[in-house]
Amino acid sequence: MKIPAKTISRLSLYYRYLHFLSQQGTFSISSKSLASMVGLKADQVRKDLSYFGAFGKTGFGYNVLELKNALARILGLERGRRVAIVGMGNLGLALVGYKGFEVLGFKIGAVFDNSPNKIGKKYRGRLCYNVKEFSAIAAQEGIEMVILTVPAEVVHEVTGAIVAAGIKAILNFSPVHLSVPKSVHVTNVDLATELKSLSYFVFGQKTAARNA
Amino acid sequence: MKIPAKTISRLSLYYRYLHFLSQQGTFSISSKSLASMVGLKADQVRKDLSYFGAFGKTGFGYNVLELKNALARILGLERGRRVAIVGMGNLGLALVGYKGFEVLGFKIGAVFDNSPNKIGKKYRGRLCYNVKEFSAIAAQEGIEMVILTVPAEVVHEVTGAIVAAGIKAILNFSPVHLSVPKSVHVTNVDLATELKSLSYFVFGQKTAARNA
DNA sequence: GCGTGTGAAACCATTCACAGCT
DNA sequence: AGCTGTGAATGGTTTCACACGC
């Protein structure tokens, strides 16, 4: 069966709320309550889960811990993945300190930059390596995923090195399209684009004059 | 005609590349070349544009500057929108310094926090205000959009203040669902969720055992 | 020939509605 | 009674394919 990509990102969302609920000691939850927490309909939650199996008990709901563990398995989170951040500019720096990653099982295993000012310095306790050494350090540190926060000018070069090192997952914050082999998964997070879309919904004009 | 939300985010993307092309002095471009820059098919580009009019010349392509200006009009970017950042933690701090916003016509008009340690300090030249004064300062500074980077615990309270101040556009980085009136547009950027989705595509298992 | 604009077709995702279990 | 799991229906988006203009 073909599973929609949107289903996957919703599963990630559910996982976060289940994590929270399990910390609260909540034992069970219905699709309806879970849905209202994340701002969706109960149908959607059940359909999403149904792609992967039947996790609930009829007339009862879901066991929070069981469902959380099932989602961890599905999402590949059973063991903490080691992540590198490449590019110690503003954004990279902020992400090194972002607690949301560690809580959910990701470990920042190494950070990289190309500037002599930054290489060798420590950021939140992590030594910054030369991006030229990426392949060696990534292997040594068991890096499996990369968060890419470098400026547009060096994206292609850096991406080449990351792909060559065998990394298959890149979360790309730089505002350019990455060309990578199909076997490498890229998710783009584009802050300026998000703002522009938002601008349309509030201020944009729904139609434009035909060109003269 | 109903315009897909996805079309809008792609228009934002096209805009960025057109901006770049116009700086290079490129005069015209075909849907095919534009598509290859952003990693899409030419059909998609043409279809997206066709919702708003006919901007191209048959057998020739699009005039870069004309198309860029048309998109600016459509997206509501003709004049710089003033944006506030609420929450001067790691991420908020990084975003104050993020150049991508200013380049594309957004202005960081004010920054806010609730901590006495931060209120009154300057961040990248911008005075940090008490979030309690949000309404007054936002009016004074002509704030039209908000980037929300506060911790989960205070999200509801802060969101209430933002909505009460009449803001209609929120870019939410906090990992909780915002409940706001339908007239307020929220776009969520959830970094941990993006990483988890990525994890699925690389490490996740496509099916799970039925529950025992 | 090259490249746009656009209906029509194909594809994908969400919502509905209900059977079935506890 | 309450809630899940899922086929069927609906709705939305992308891709196709072709008429038309330069």
Contact B199 A90 (CB under 8 A): no
3-state secondary structure string across B71-111: HHHHHCCCCCEEEEEECCCHHHHHHHCCHHHHHCCEEEEEE
- On whether both A189 and A85 belong to a single domain, the answer is yes
- pLDDT band for position A1 (cuts 50, 70, 90): confident
Quote the percentage of chain A above a pLDDT of 70.
96
Q: Is the pLDDT of residue A207 over 70?
A: no
The reply to whether A163 touches chain B by the CB within 8 Å rule is no
- On whether both A26 and A105 belong to a single domain, the answer is no
Total residue count of chain A as it appears in this document: 212
Strand duo B122-123 + B126-130: pairing = antiparallel
- Please check whether residue B120 is in contact with residue B102, taking contact to mean a CB–CB distance below 8 angstroms: no
Q: Of A90, A106, A211, which is closest to B66 when you measure between CB atoms? A: A211
For the segment A46-82, what is each residue's pLDDT rounded down to a tens digit? 999 999 999 999 999 999 999 999 999 999 998 889 9
Number of domains forming the structure of chain B: 2
Q: Is the pLDDT of residue A208 over 60?
A: no
- Please check whether residue A85 is in contact with residue A35, taking contact to mean a CB–CB distance below 8 angstroms: no
What CATH number corresponds to the domain at position B165?
3.40.50.720
* Residue linked to tokens 């908020």: B92
- On whether both A85 and A185 belong to a single domain, the answer is yes
pLDDT at A205: 66
- What does the alpha-carbon distance between residue A149 and residue A50 come to, in Å, rounded to a whole number? 36
pTM beyond 0.75, yes or no: yes
pLDDT at A210: 37
Residue B212 in any domain: the answer is no
- pLDDT band for position A206 (cuts 50, 70, 90): low
Task: Identify the segments of chain B with pLDDT beneath 50.
Answer: 207-212
Q: Is the pLDDT of residue A4 over 90?
A: yes
- On whether both A29 and A119 belong to a single domain, the answer is no
pLDDT at B212: 25
If you count residue pairs, one on A and one on B, with CB atoms under 8 Å apart, how many are there? Answer: 223
Domain span at B39: 5-74
Chain B residues in contact with A94 by the CB 8 A cut-off are: 90-91, 93-95
Contact B177 A39 (CB under 8 A): yes
Residue B151 in any domain: the answer is yes
Decide which of A27, A43, A74 is a domain's last residue. Answer: A74
- On whether both A122 and A178 belong to a single domain, the answer is yes
- On whether both B30 and B93 belong to a single domain, the answer is no
Average pLDDT for A137-143: 97
Decide which of A74, A89, A105 is a domain's last residue. Answer: A74
- On whether both A59 and A89 belong to a single domain, the answer is no
For the segment A147-200, what is each residue's pLDDT rounded down to a tens digit? 999 999 999 999 999 999 999 999 999 999 999 999 999 999 999 999 999 999
Give me A48's structure tokens. 């999403």
